[in-house]
Structure 1
Amino acid sequence: MTAVRPSQAPVVAAVAVGGGLGAAARYAAALCWPTPAGHFPWAVFLVNIAGCAAMGALMVAVTEVWSPHRLLRPFLGTGVLGGFTTFSTYAVDVRDLAAGGHPATALVCLAATPLAALTAVWLAASAARRVLGPKGGAA
């Protein structure tokens, strides 16, 4: 016999609302710091790094430290931070830089973004572990 699962509608709604908020924040960052053609896409780069750092800290908080409401992780992680970060735009930026005659800038962006993103996750998760400590006790 299969266990009855609660409705997934609240999870879908949490992801949708969070995704809208994250995407709006990313769009605002792009409007505030537009990238001229042929230049390094600093806004997208920094949004991705900030989002990855926030994801690293969030995942430590909600999996190792606190027992949050079941909708917090889908709302913040998948929704807000998933909507905020934009690795599809990163890929388009690399392609456009290369096709536009800026292969060196394209290669720097291609290499620097995932390296910086992974570093941001690791550093933020490590810092969160030190600051927040384990579940049920101090660090």
Structure 2
Amino acid sequence: MPLTLLSIAAFAALGAWTRYGQTLLVQAMFGRAFPWATLSINVLGSFLMGFLFFATLERVNLSPELRTGLLTGGLGAYTTFSTFSLETTNLFEGGEALRGLLYIGASVLLSLFAAMLGAFLSRNLGA
């Protein structure tokens, strides 16, 4: 149990730093008028979760502690559903209902597709 908790903490730090760096990069490239940074993090995080969940279950032999650290700590800190919820609220409260709905639809559909694509690729690469 202590090794699992340490693994979660270490990967959570990496996930949070990655999220912050990606946010700065995407906002510098596309601005802040639309929450592109959070959308890109949620879609990439969904892809990685779909890919790594099955890759580490079916193809790559990781210890349970390391796998939990990677998936729960790393991707848990990297993905941003709470930020998505707040940004959606801000769009609606700011009178941007259409952008809010677009953001909800894009986030759900793209993230679901990314998770499915990650799972498919994980199971079929090299097969």
Q: Same fold by TM-score, threshold 0.5 exceeded? A: yes
The aligned residue for residue 103 of structure 2 is 109
Where relative contact order (Cα < 8 A, 6+ residues apart) is larger, the structure is 2
List runs of 5+ in structure 2 lacking aligned partners: none
Q: Is the 8 A contact 2:4 2:66 kept in 1?
A: no
The aligned residue for residue 27 of structure 1 is 20
1:16 partnered with 2:9:
yes
Secondary structure at 1:80 match in 2:
helix
Q: Of the two, which has the highest radius of gyration? A: 1
Aligned partner (choices 63, 82, 107) of residue 88 of structure 1: 82
Amino acid of the residue matched to residue 101 of structure 2? Answer: L
Aligned partner (choices 44, 59, 66) of residue 38 of structure 2: 44
1:121 partnered with 2:111:
no
Find the aligned partners of 2:60 and 2:44 in 1 and give their Cα distance: 22
After superposition, the C-alpha distances for 1:101-123 in whole angstroms (9 at most, x for unaligned) are: 11100011112101111110101
How many residues in Structure 1 have an aligned counterpart in Structure 2? 124
Tell me how far 1:27 sits from its aligned partner. Answer: 1.0
Moved segments of 4+, more than 4 Å = none
Secondary structure at 1:33 match in 2:
helix
Percent identity, aligned pairs only, is 34
TM-score (norm 2): 0.91
Find the aligned partners of 2:5 and 2:55 in 1 and give their Cα distance: 22
List runs of 5+ in structure 1 lacking aligned partners: 1-7, 133-138
TM-score (norm 1): 0.83
